[in-house]
Structure 1
Amino acid sequence: MRKGAFLSVAALALVLGGTGVLSAKDKDDKKEDGAAVKAARDFNTNPYPSTYKPYPGRSTLIVGATIFDGRGGRIERGVVLLQGGKIAGVGGSLADMDVPADAVRIDGTGKFITPGVIDVHSHLGVYPSPGVEANSDGNEATAPTTPNVWAEHSIWPQDPGFSRALANGGVTSLEVLPGSANLMGGRSVVVKNVYARTVQGMKFPDAPYGLKMACGENPKRVYGGKGRTPSTRMGNFAVNRETWIKAQEYRAKRAAGKLEARDLALETLAGVLDGKILVQNHCYRADEMALVLDMAKEFGYHVSAFHHAVEAYKIGDLLKQADTCSAIWSDWWGFKMEAYDAIPENAGILWKAGACVVIHSDDENGIQRLNQEAAKAQGDARRIGINIPDADVVGWFTYNAAKAIGVDKMTGSLAPGLMGDVVLWNGNPLSVYSRPEKVWIDGALLFDSSNRKLRPVSDFELGQPGEGDVK
């Protein structure tokens, strides 16, 4: 035997005339190897859990307002009861409600109540104000696919945009996404629009993650312009499919207990294939959306929503069949070639086809007026003979939005047992003259236009001390 060479366990057993039975030490080594494989298979799927706790609230009774419940229902001179952080009652009278004696009573006569507004496409926190390079943390533009990154690890909770969205737009929840430079940009996260010291203190409990994907011009421009792949739409699809194949193989190894090491990117994609992570797909052209739906069938995942989707009106029937929402603007168009065939009647035509319509922002200013954007889309539909009830339009920025990001069983509509996320408007929310008067999140009054102490201000906006103030 060559000096310094090592025998295998089996060879050593033969040399010693043994039976090949492992020694105690060998058994321990094998156990350690098995533990490593088990650790790779049974990794912590929730390493950054939500620490969100609702702010303290009081039992509150709102009477006399017009109620839009988010699911197409309208109640004139209705009643909403908030208790224990939840919606305890909604109806046309107090007859069936057990109202606590100490409940705060608010007269809503002439006013309107909706569920809290939800934005499914926001970059608040990852592209915070002020919009300078030092704060630009939304696009990990280093590779065409980066499903390993998580938006929550870029969110700055002090972004002044959060308080603006609450006060001016009645936004109580939002999905923060990575940018769209990459075909697979990473995980999105749903947050409650509350002040917290950490992003985990904002994180919506039990909301599913999303996977941000992007079609078309963005990944072509970012990577093709550098002489890298992909540089064409067919390159986009090829890279996507190659990546999904790897995800399928990873998932199969995990199921068979044969994983040798963790892969953060493939963990996310396996979560999509398991149905636990929702696909949120940036896509403009109808033909590309149809191709993505085919790719989803090929690999067995579901597209929860196409974002921007300016040509969705062309394939409303396909989107309805796939149960895929269209998260759209009312009338933003023409800023690149794939946005040229947009029409302001997009939402109306989708609604008529029975498809899921969501109004989103993708903008720190637009998030403050999702109600007005929905009203614009309603008006454009009316001009071509599609008359959409106000109560349905309100659902475009409440219930349908909640459905698109997977929280509709918890919020997005007004029904007993759901989160007490409620906006009291000083007029019809579909009027340009209306604004939020009061906003509750989990039953806690977090904005009140008549109370200066309930107009939240970001720590960043408090400013820096002057030179003479520092001792």
Structure 2
Amino acid sequence: MFEWRRAAAAASLLALGLSACATTGGAGAKPRTPAAKPAEKVEIKPLPKGLDGAASSGFPSTYSPLPSKATAIVGATVLTATGDQIESGVVFVSGGKIVSVGGADTPIPADVAVIQAKGKWLTPGIIDAHSHLGVYPSPGVQARSDGNEATDPNTAQVWSEHSVWPQDPGFNRARAGGVTTLLILPGSANLFGGRSVTLKNVPSTTMQGMKFPGAPYGLKMACGENPKRVYGGKGRTPSTAMGNVFGFRKAWIDAADYTRKWDDYRAKVQKGEKADAPKRDLQLETLSGVLKGEILVQNHCYRGDEMAVMIDIAREFGYKITMFHHAIESYKVGALLAKEDICSATWASWTGFKMESLDGIDANAALLWKAGACVVIHSDDPIMTQRLNQEAAIAMTAGNKLGYGISRAEAIKWITANPAKAMGIGDKTGSIAPGKAADLVIWNRDPFSVYAQAEQVYIDGALTYDRHDPKYQPKSDFELGQTGQGAFN
């Protein structure tokens, strides 16, 4: 730097001397202005990875599909989850993808495996949009109770994937019920519970080996009784509904400020200006991801009036609620939810177990459907996840008792296409359509029957469960030695 300044000074003196010579004796000549000193170049060094505020994509998936082969499933009644019911259908899959779907006259390529499924039913793989498998695994012991970081009303900084225990036997049991994809959420103790993770329901020794490639993160939020009970009982805020709302609003104000700081920093760097990077904050980074539309909001909320308040908060701060979970009173605000394009993940048969669930009715989902809103049937339970088809059947039947005429072709969307949409993976799975993942279930009969059983389950075209073949009834490491069978033995 010293050499540069000395050279610049010499050049400046030389310029002055030449200027004097030029103007000597020249009548009316104007003295020249010395050349401006060039601006000092600012060297902008990139921040180390992990400190650059852009690491919100987190930890990469290492999922790799199991081996599969080109296969045609023929003769089954096919519920596509696109609104069609095809009798004696033909579904051809290759390379882990659905290639073609049609009736009995659909051509089948030569030299492919053919599964004769006459008298059976074929659906997309079931998607459970509210699961705690892995974070509250079996056996239910305190040592593995990892779903609620109940230490502060705002724990947006924690990620459920870092609590997932992939050896949870519940994953295998859910697969036997036809579940191919799950949204694993933190619990509902906090206003902001943390990030969700989407998993492929495949056997794996690591969480990363189950992680759905390209699936967006969700942020678990919770309104209502739970945060009040957890923190009010400790003499802390929130202890009331208005305390809940204050906590939400304050957090979004802080997140907006954090977002502006990073945006200003990056704008200066892009211009080549000197700038000091803000300190990375994992809590605010997740909230900032919501404000930017990169992270989906999955909002635990039972009462219709509180859903309306949460929508007002979202409008105030410019983010979108993707889905209300549990949503027992969604039928009271169905038109509002349809207008806002917010899905409701609910049950049919779970009501009345606490005050905010007192007004639950079996026809909640059907009334939502009638209002034109997005319906999802979820589990929130390691047992119900094994029979989500039956829970959807209860909801469908409740609506049909009201004369709605809900078809199986529509109701199947509640546990396949609609949860895929609400989880941000509807372009990849959730329906039987060309180009979608070959996530499929062959049922021994009408899946809306209480007697229905999943006979075969395919994930990305690979057979991952077969009710009649022990080789495709994997056991987790936790179960080894108890049953004498290993995974895929």
Contact 1:358 1:396 in 2 (8 A): yes
Compute the displacement of 1:451 (Å): 0.9
Match of residue 220 from structure 2: 212
Distance verdict in 2 for CA 1:464–1:331, change over 3 Å: closer
Q: Percent same amino acid among aligned pairs?
A: 58
Aligned to 2:272: none
Quote the Cα distance in structure 1 between the aligned partners of 2:233 and 2:356.
Answer: 17
Alignment of 1:15-414 (within 5 A): 31=43, 35-36=46-47, 40-95=51-106, 97=107, 99-101=109-111, 103-167=112-176, 169-257=177-265, 259-414=277-432
Q: Residue 196 of structure 2 aligns to a residue in which SS?
A: strand
Q: Within 2, Cα distance between the matches of 1:448 and 1:214?
A: 38
Q: How far has the Cα of 1:194 moved from its partner?
A: 0.2
Provide the C-alpha distance between the structure 2 equivalents of 1:415 and 1:38, rounded to a whole number of angstroms. 39
Q: Deviations over 1:112-161 (max 9, x none)?
A: 00000000000000000000000100000000000000000000000000
SS in 2 for 1:438: strand
Amino acid at match of 2:83: G
Shift of 1:48: 0.7
Deviation at 1:94, TM superposition (A): 4.5
On the 8 A contact 1:279/1:303 being kept in 2, the answer is yes
What's 1:457 paired with? 475
The alpha-carbon distance between structure 1 residues 100 and 274, as it changes in their structure 2 partners (threshold 3 A), is farther
Partner of 2:24: none
Give the whole-Å Cα distance in 2 for the aligned partners of 1:323 and 1:253. Answer: 31
Q: SS at the partner of 2:56?
A: coil
Q: Give the TM-score normalised by structure 2.
A: 0.87
Farther-moved stretch of structure 1 (349-358 vs 456-465): 456-465
CA contact (8 A) 2:92 2:108 kept: no
> Quick check: 1:58–1:444 contact (8 Å CA) kept in 2?
yes
Post-superposition CA distance 1:264-310 (Å, at most 9, x none): 01111111111111000000000000011111111111111000000
Instruction: Give me the whole-angstrom Cα distance separating, in 2, the residues matched to 1:137 and 1:42.
Output: 27
Maintained 8 Å contact 1:344/1:380: yes
CA–CA distance in 2 between the matches of 1:39 and 1:374? 43
SS at 2:213's partner residue?
Answer: coil
Tell me by how many angstroms 1:334 deviates: 1.3
**Structure 2 letter corresponding to 1:165:** A
Distance 1:81 1:465 in 2: 36
| Cα contact 2:56–2:289 (8 A) shared by 1 | no
CA shift for structure 1 position 40: 4.3
Give the SS at the match of 1:282.
strand
TM-score (norm 1): 0.90
* Partner residue, 1:3: none
* Distance (Å, rounded) in 2 between the aligned partners of 1:37 and 1:173: 35
Q: Give the Cα separation in 2 of the matches to 1:464 and 1:76.
A: 43
Q: Which amino acid aligns with 2:163?
A: S
Work out whether residues 37 and 261 of structure 1, in 8 Å CA contact, stay in contact via their aligned partners in 2: no
Pairwise CA RMSD: 2.4
The residue identity in structure 1 corresponding to 2:143 is A
> Residue 406 of structure 2 aligns to which amino acid in structure 1?
I
Partner of 1:291, secondary structure, is helix
Read off the aligned partner of 1:227 and give its amino acid letter. Answer: G
Structure 2 counterpart SS, 1:201:
coil
Deviations 1:381-440 (Å, cap 9, x if unpaired)? Answer: 122222201110011000001011110000000011110100010000000011101110
Task: Measure the CA separation in 1 of the matches of 2:205 and 2:296.
Answer: 27
1:37 and 1:438 map into 2 onto residues whose CA distance is 47
Q: CA 1:42 to 1:146, structure 2 compared with 1: closer, same or farther past 3 Å?
A: closer
Amino acid at match of 1:255: D
Change (3 A) 1:464 1:415: closer
Q: Secondary structure at the match of 2:458?
A: strand
8 A Cα contact 2:70 2:92, kept in partner: yes
Instruction: List gaps (5 residues or longer) in structure 1.
Output: 1-12, 467-471
Mapped to 2, the partners of 1:42 and 1:184 lie a distance apart of 20
Structure 1 runs (4+) greater than 6 angstroms displaced: none
Whole-Å separation in 2 of the counterparts to 1:88 and 1:243: 46
Aligned length in residues: 444
Pairwise CA distance, 1:41: 4.2
Q: What's the CA shift string for 1:49-93, capped at 9, x where partnerless?
A: 001000001111111110000122111110011111101111113
Q: CA deviation at 1:238?
A: 0.4
Code of the residue aligned with 1:350 in structure 2: it is L
Aligned residue identity for 1:454 = Y
Deviation at 1:347, TM superposition (A): 0.8
- For the residues of structure 2 that align with 1:284 and 1:386, how far apart are their CA atoms? 24
Which structure has the bigger radius of gyration? 2
Return the letter of the residue paired with 1:310.
I
